[in-house]
Amino acid sequence: MTQPSLFVSHGAPTLLIEPSAAKEFLGSFAVTVSPPRAILIVSAHFNAARPTLTASPAPETIHDFGGFPDELYRLRYPAPGAPHIAQEIADTLAAAGFDAATHPDRGLDHGAWVPLMLLYPEADIPVIQLSISMNQSPEWHYALGQALKPLREAGIMIIGSGGATHNLRAFFTGNFRLDSPPPPWVSDFAAWLAAAVEAGDHDAILTAIGNAPGGQENHPTMDHILPLFVALGAGGEGPGTRLHHSTTYGVLAMDAYRFGAAA
């Protein structure tokens, strides 16, 4: 079965232990699609100069955050890896002109295991993580996604994991609560992005940071929106669907999107 290409906002690591609409959405979505052969997840927290794929047969759970409740550091996501699939994907990218590599030891960072723990809590589906490249453009990441598109026909679900909005300075200095309403600069950008996705305006999405209302304010760094461009490219041409819309802590839009046909 053809798998969808998804973008999910993973928010703060406390997504797993705090009540929210986004947590409920992620916890119920997987039953709407056929189980994938494997999951390829592109996380905002794995940056490399070249496209790099995790190739450990048993990737560790990386707790790449500090200052959070102790229970988060006790969590493990023991999904298997799939070195042979990682190599297949590297070969696919190489055929498209990307200088792809595999990493035999790297585990799954919280941008991967936090949403996956809600989507597939049984941790029984092989997971491969793919890096972003902060030195590359939105268009480069979109082309990377286009190169990955055939994997969907092979039963591999593609997930970009980042944030529809992600301004950490505002998050830490704004005294926002979990249920704080979003300021206009957050809600305006989220609404603009949803409209562009549902109109299938890929050119507008790729230039969102410079052209959308509040683009630079919501993404002062590009790391959390780059996975969106990969998912967009992997979904193929045409409109996408906003599957979920909510905010946590006022400034974190937790929107999720689907590109391409669902399984």
Q: What is the CATH number of the domain that holds 173?
A: 3.40.830.10
Q: Any residues with CB less than 8 A from the CB of 205 and at least 6 apart, and which?
A: 193, 196, 197, 228, 229, 232
DSSP state of 52: E
pLDDT for res 234: 98
CA-wise closest residue to 160 among 111, 203, 114, 89:
111
The residue length of the chain stands at 263
Residues paired with 242 in a beta bridge: 257
Task: Give the strand pairing for 101-103 and 127-132.
Answer: unpaired
Cβ(209)–Cβ(216) below 8 Å: yes
| Host domain of residue 106 | 5-259
| Residues in CB range of 22: below 8 A, 6 or more apart | 9, 11, 15, 244, 246, 248, 254, 256
pLDDT in tens, the chain (263 residues): 899 999 999 999 999 999 999 999 999 999 999 999 999 999 999 999 999 999 999 999 999 999 999 999 999 999 999 999 999 999 999 999 999 999 999 999 999 999 999 999 999 999 999 999 999 999 999 999 999 999 999 999 999 999 999 998 988 888 899 999 999 999 999 999 999 999 999 999 999 999 999 999 999 999 999 999 999 999 999 999 999 999 999 999 999 999 986 43
Tokens of 245: 């819309």
Count of domains observed in the chain: 1
Antiparallel, parallel or unpaired: β 127-132 and 38-47: parallel
Q: Which residues are 244's β-sheet partners? A: 256
Quote the pLDDT of residue 261.
Answer: 64
- Name the DSSP class of 73: H
The pLDDT of residue 173 is 86
Cα 226 to Cα 45, 98, 133, 212, distances in angstroms:
11, 17, 8, 15
How confident is the model over 170-223, as pLDDT tens digits?
888 888 999 999 999 999 999 999 999 999 999 999 999 999 999 999 999 999
Measured CA to CA in angstroms, residue 203 lies from 105, 211, 212 at distances of: 36, 11, 12
Q: β-strand 241-244 against 256-259: which pairing, if any?
A: antiparallel
User: Given this model, what pLDDT does residue 235 score?
Assistant: 97
Is this structure's pTM higher than 0.85? yes
Which strands form 156-162's sheet, in the order they lie side by side? Answer: 101-103, 52-54, 127-132, 38-47, 156-162, 5-9, 256-259, 241-244
